[in-house]
């Protein structure tokens, strides 16, 4: 599977997580990851850190690292929606 398709799927997962948490915002693909812009003016950069996983930045400050997508989602929820219910977020693909 091409990295472009993986990026689009990860982008959809990130957008879905924002909806579940009640956070208004947008996600755009960047050459090395994603840029997330929340409605409150908060901008976060999500960078691929191969082979270790993901790194989350607020401006230039490192907020955390995650080995996989579930850990990245946990970091984002703690930063953007600490009031959101903690629990499992089901990641899946919609059928065509």
Calculate what percentage of the chain has a pLDDT beyond 70.
Answer: 84
Q: Which residues pair with 25 in a beta bridge?
A: 38
Mean pLDDT, the chain, rounded, equals: 84
Q: Residue 54 is inside which H or E element, if any?
A: strand 53-58
CA 44/CA 64 separation, integer angstroms: 11
Distance from the Cα of residue 42 to its chain's centroid: 13
Whether residue 1 is predicted with pLDDT greater than 50 in this model: the reply is no
- Residues 34 and 26 sit within 8 Å (Cβ to Cβ): no
pLDDT at 31: 87
**What ranges do the domains of the chain cover?**
3-80
- Residues 44 and 79 sit within 8 Å (Cβ to Cβ): yes
CA 38/CA 56 separation, integer angstroms: 14
pLDDT-derived band at 82, boundaries 50, 70, 90: confident
36-74: per-residue pLDDT in tens? 998 878 899 999 887 889 999 997 899 999 998 889 999
CA 22/CA 29 separation, integer angstroms: 21
- Residues 12 and 27 sit within 8 Å (Cβ to Cβ): no
């Amino acid at each position: 599977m091409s990295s472009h398709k993986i990026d689009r799927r990860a982008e959809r997962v990130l957008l879905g997580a924002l909806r579940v948490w009640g956070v208004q915002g947008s996600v755009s693909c960047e050459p090395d990851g994603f840029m997330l812009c929340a409605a409150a003016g908060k901008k976060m950069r999500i960078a691929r850190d191969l082979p270790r996983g993901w790194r989350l930045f607020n401006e230039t400050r490192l907020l955390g690292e995650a080995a996989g997508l579930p850990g990245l989602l946990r970091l984002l929820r703690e930063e953007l929606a600490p009031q959101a219910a903690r629990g499992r977020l089901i990641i899946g693909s919609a059928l065509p």
